[in-house]
Structure 1
Amino acid sequence: MSKLTERMFRKEDPAVYQDKDSHLIRSLTTKDFLALGVGTIVSTSIFTLPGVVAAQHAGPAVALSFVVAGVVAALVAFAYAEMSAAMPFAGSAYSWIHVVFGEFWGWIAGWALLAEYFIAVAFVASGLSANFQGLIGPLGIKLPASLSAASTGSNGGLVDIIAVVVVVLVALLLSRGASQTARVENTLVVLKVLAIIVFIIVGLTAIHVQNYVPFIPKYHVNADGSAFGGWQGIYAGVSEIFLAYIGFDSIAANSAEAKNPQKTMPRGILGSLLIAVALFITVSLVLVGMFHYSKYANNAEPVGWALRQSGHGTVAAVVQAIAVVGMFTALIGMMLAGSRLLYSFGRDGLLPKWLGKLTNNLPDRALIVLTIIGVLLGSVFPFAFLAQLISAGTLIAFMFVSVGVYALRPREGKDIPMPSFKMPLYPVLPALGFLGSLGVFWGLDIQAKTYAFGWFVFGIIIYFLYGIRHSNAGREEK
């Protein structure tokens, strides 16, 4: 047993990762990471969540839910910024936790993020397909039922062909390299942010102040047992909204391809989150000001609906069209990060080693596997089902990274380089980041927690049946 535990908790030498990742091309700048972060965070959710959460939980106080969720995300982002500056390795939380806590805990943290990337790729592709079909519908273009919906849904579908096509297209783009991808990402992000700004400007002309009163509605329990109004409704909104902010971790997964990561990583992570929080809060305030929050109940496209109802149909069409194109940015970010995480598992032997092989200095084999899984999930499982695991897995990884700062600090300037950025108010903020993530996780619905538990049981089985037997650490000790 002592031999087993010794292998499970063996900490990787950071110099090993530095050497293994040296073949990846460092081509990404602060501008690229800002675009990658904003593109991944400000995705489908900014056009849907503000209205949905206002109607279901918080009323006009949905803006406070976004503020609280943003504060929790910022606490974790500080930890991510220090970790990525000190250890700019592919695989982000998996590699960091492997270095500071050991192989088993690194696997758990990485397995948590893998759920996010697998499901998020399928989730965004499925959402993009639904919005695209909604756009072409009024033009008289309608796909056959068998090709327009997931086979496990209730619409008579066989495969969501648009979800398949968009995942494959993004994979082909990523196979051309991070710098080429960054150019496309930067352009799409600018378009998407402009669309959001247009909505804000036009929406401000249609605000009715009485829609903000009362700003925090009186608390009551919804028919489904969830909270509405009061601080309870704001808290319920936080757990649902946090899904919108989790994309910043995808930046860190690409830190092995960053130019001057000591500066670019903290700026990219914190800067993109700050921009995203500002946009989410502003959109939510404008949206609930345009119409009473109850109007957004069961509304899958509140932004477009609000623009049309206030007499701005053309603007609504343009904003929605750009929103669909902008969803590619989130897909790019998640697939870029997910392929780097799979590469990291293969690099260390915890998954088949061929995943860790590079082709023309790119992890194309890992990208192919991610693409196949994303296609299968996105084309077979319906949109609502795919949302369950995303927040749960990521929040667990966030808890690991927050407490990981305590193990990192004593090693900085010794076997780990002294980072140019350090998490402020140490040792208080890492604890607050952990507790904040735990609090948001606690607020998730029971189904999300159940799926997460099943995913981790599956991951632990894989680790003991394959990972620990084939890991580089295990072979070195033989």
Structure 2
Amino acid sequence: MANIWKKMTRKEDPEVYKSKDKHLLQVLEVKDFLALGVGTIVSTSIFTLPGVVAAKHAGPAVALSFLAAAVVAALVAFAYAEMSSTMPFAGSAYSWVNVVFGEGFGWIAGWALLAEYFIAVAFVGSGLSANLRGLLSPLGIELPRQLSNTLGTNGGWFDLLAIIAMLIVSFVLSRGASEAARVENVLVVLKVLAVVIFLVVGVTAIKGENYVPFIPEYHPNPDGTAFGGWQGIYAGVSSIFLSYVGFDSIASNAAEAKNPSKTMPRGILGSLVIAVILFVAVALVLVGMFKYTNYTDNAEPVGWALRHAGHPLVAVVVQAIAVVGMFTALIGMMLAGSRLLYSFGRDGMLPKWLGQLNKNNLPNHALFFLTAIAVVIGAVLPFVTLSQLISAGTLIAFMFVSLGIYRLRPREGKDLPEAGFKMPWYPVMPALAFLGSFVVFMGLDQQAKIYSLGWFVLGILIYLCYGMQNSNLNNKEEKD
């Protein structure tokens, strides 16, 4: 047991990561990271979750759920900004935790994030498909239910449109990060425009009575979750926290940043501020247009609300732009997830072919593997289950990164460079970020916790049986 602990706590030399990642092209600027962040954060969830969470948990107070989640996300974002400015390595939390806590803990954080990316890609693909089908349905274009739903849902076999979307994005990313960034920058502008159009038109349809009572009376849902009261707001926070996890996708691409000590903090914090404003505004307008009960099990509430408010043409325009814009979230998540898988292969924690670069210095082996897994997950798991599972994996990584600041700060200016950005109110804020992430995690439903526990156990087994023996650190020790 002592030997296992010794191996879990052996730390990677940051110079090794710097050397290995230098072949990745440093082409991304602040505007690219803002586009990646906003594109990933303001994704499927802004067009779906405000209505779904209002109906199931919080009522009109869904805006408070978004604000509370934003506070926790902001605390963690400060930690991410300092980490990424000091250690601009591919793999974000996995690589950082490997340096400050050790190999085993880095693997746990990275394994948790891997669940986020596998599932988030499938989740965004499902949301894109739902909105596209909502757009095509009034035109009389409908796919058979077997090709429109996940396995076992309403007679479905697989979601064909979601799979096609993932394959298109995988092809774009295989051409390089700079190519993807150019596409992302254009699509993000379009998506924000769609949100603004919805807000401008939706405000004209708001009815004051739909906000009363703003915080409905508490009662348990049939599935054991909470509705109404502070309990419902809390349950809403846990359900929608995935809305703000996009800044991790920025950090995963730090090795491809120009001047990362300044680029990374500005990209992470800037994209989060923009996202919070848009999310809260959409939530308030959506529940003001119609009573929240109308959004129960509605996977495209924004389009539905516009159509039923007498704006079918605006609904078509907004949903058309939104569907195109959802590709930005797929680009961000698949780009980040492939860099994380590359990091695992780079370090020997998973088969080394995942860490190989092609002749253009792109980790396409990792990209294609991520795509294949996401396609399978997207064909099997339903939309609502996916949202909670994304939050579970991300929150575990967030807790590691928050505590990691205590190990990072004493090493800055010594074996690590001085941070281009420092988390304020040290040492209090890292503790608040950890506690906030833990509280949100505890609010996840039982099914998400059980699934995340199963994923955690699987990850530990893979580490003990493969990663611990095949890691570069282990090979180095054996040679020494």
Pick the TM interval, shorter chain. over 0.9
- The aligned runs of 1:283-322 (5 Å cut-off) are 283-322=282-321
Report the equivalent of 2:278: 279
TM-fit CA distance, 1:438? 0.3
TM-fit CA distance, 1:145? 4.1
TM-score (norm 2): 0.96
1-structure distance, mates of 2:126, 2:208? 36
Which one is further off, 290-299 or 254-263?
290-299
Report the equivalent of 2:334: 335
**Structure 1: gaps of 5 or more residues:** none
Q: Secondary structure of 1:23's match?
A: coil
Report the equivalent of 1:132: 132
TM-fit CA distance, 1:415? 0.5
Report the equivalent of 1:90: 90
2-structure distance, mates of 1:3, 1:33? 41
- The aligned runs of 1:401-440 (5 Å cut-off) are 401-440=401-440
Equivalent residue letter for 2:152: G
1:61–1:157 distance in 2 versus 1, CA, 3 Å: closer
Which one is further off, 367-376 or 127-136?
127-136
CA deviation vs aligned residue, 1:344-388 (integer Å, no higher than 9, x gap): 000000001111111111111111111111222223443344334
Equivalent residue letter for 1:303: V
Report the equivalent of 2:229: 230
Q: Secondary structure of 1:25's match?
A: coil
1-structure distance, mates of 2:328, 2:224? 36
Report the equivalent of 1:325: 324
Q: Secondary structure of 2:455's match?
A: helix
Q: Secondary structure of 1:48's match?
A: helix
Which one is further off, 205-214 or 378-387?
378-387
Report the equivalent of 1:117: 117
1-structure distance, mates of 2:158, 2:298? 25
> How much is the aligned-residue C-alpha RMSD, in angstroms?
1.4
2-structure distance, mates of 1:68, 1:59? 15
Report the equivalent of 2:176: 177
Equivalent residue letter for 1:293: Y
2-structure distance, mates of 1:217, 1:145? 36
1-structure distance, mates of 2:215, 2:383? 31
TM-score (norm 1): 0.97
CA deviation vs aligned residue, 1:93-114 (integer Å, no higher than 9, x gap): 0000000000000000000000
Equivalent residue letter for 1:427: P
CA deviation vs aligned residue, 1:413-464 (integer Å, no higher than 9, x gap): 0001001100000011100000000000000000000000000100011001
TM-fit CA distance, 1:320? 1.0
2-structure distance, mates of 1:6, 1:225? 42
Q: Give yes or no for contact 1:153–1:381 (8 Å, CA) kept in 2.
A: no
Report the equivalent of 1:156: 155
Report the equivalent of 2:52: 52
Report the equivalent of 2:73: 73
2-structure distance, mates of 1:149, 1:289? 30
Q: Secondary structure of 2:154's match?
A: coil
Q: Secondary structure of 1:19's match?
A: helix
Report the equivalent of 2:186: 187
CA deviation vs aligned residue, 1:106-155 (integer Å, no higher than 9, x gap): 000000000000111112112222222232223232334443333x2233
CA deviation vs aligned residue, 1:203-249 (integer Å, no higher than 9, x gap): 11122223223322333333433322222221111111112111211
Q: Give yes or no for contact 1:35–1:186 (8 Å, CA) kept in 2.
A: yes
2-structure distance, mates of 1:63, 1:119? 25
Q: Give yes or no for contact 2:56–2:227 (8 Å, CA) kept in 1.
A: yes
Which one is further off, 232-241 or 193-202?
232-241
1-structure distance, mates of 2:153, 2:9? 46
Which one is further off, 11-20 or 383-392?
383-392
1-structure distance, mates of 2:219, 2:144? 43
2-structure distance, mates of 1:232, 1:385? 20
TM-fit CA distance, 1:475? 0.6
1:60–1:141 distance in 2 versus 1, CA, 3 Å: closer
Report the equivalent of 1:241: 240
Equivalent residue letter for 1:141: I
CA deviation vs aligned residue, 1:289-314 (integer Å, no higher than 9, x gap): 22222332333322112212221111
Equivalent residue letter for 1:460: I
1-structure distance, mates of 2:194, 2:131? 15
1-structure distance, mates of 2:395, 2:352? 28
Which one is further off, 258-267 or 135-144?
135-144
Equivalent residue letter for 1:205: T
TM-fit CA distance, 1:174? 0.4
Which one is further off, 229-238 or 130-139?
130-139
TM-fit CA distance, 1:12? 0.6
Q: Give yes or no for contact 1:255–1:261 (8 Å, CA) kept in 2.
A: yes
1:225–1:8 distance in 2 versus 1, CA, 3 Å: closer
1-structure distance, mates of 2:231, 2:193? 34
Query: Post-superposition, which runs of at least 4 consecutive aligned residues in structure 1 deviate over 4 A?
Result: none
Q: Secondary structure of 1:240's match?
A: helix
Which one is further off, 128-137 or 72-81?
128-137
Q: Secondary structure of 1:188's match?
A: helix
TM-fit CA distance, 1:24? 0.4
Q: Secondary structure of 1:389's match?
A: helix
1-structure distance, mates of 2:206, 2:383? 32
Aligned: 1:11 with 2:11: yes
2-structure distance, mates of 1:100, 1:432? 19
2-structure distance, mates of 1:452, 1:356? 25
Q: Secondary structure of 2:415's match?
A: coil
Which one is further off, 102-111 or 281-290?
281-290
Q: Give yes or no for contact 2:238–2:388 (8 Å, CA) kept in 1.
A: no
CA deviation vs aligned residue, 1:74-93 (integer Å, no higher than 9, x gap): 00000000000000000000
1:146–1:232 distance in 2 versus 1, CA, 3 Å: closer
Q: Give yes or no for contact 1:388–1:451 (8 Å, CA) kept in 2.
A: no
Which one is further off, 156-165 or 403-412?
156-165
Report the equivalent of 2:458: 458
Which one is further off, 20-29 or 300-309?
300-309
1-structure distance, mates of 2:25, 2:115? 26
Report the equivalent of 2:371: 371
1:22–1:415 distance in 2 versus 1, CA, 3 Å: same
TM-fit CA distance, 1:19? 0.5
Equivalent residue letter for 1:336: L
1:403–1:54 distance in 2 versus 1, CA, 3 Å: same
Equivalent residue letter for 2:322: A
Equivalent residue letter for 1:211: N
2-structure distance, mates of 1:158, 1:49? 24
Equivalent residue letter for 1:114: L
Equivalent residue letter for 2:93: A
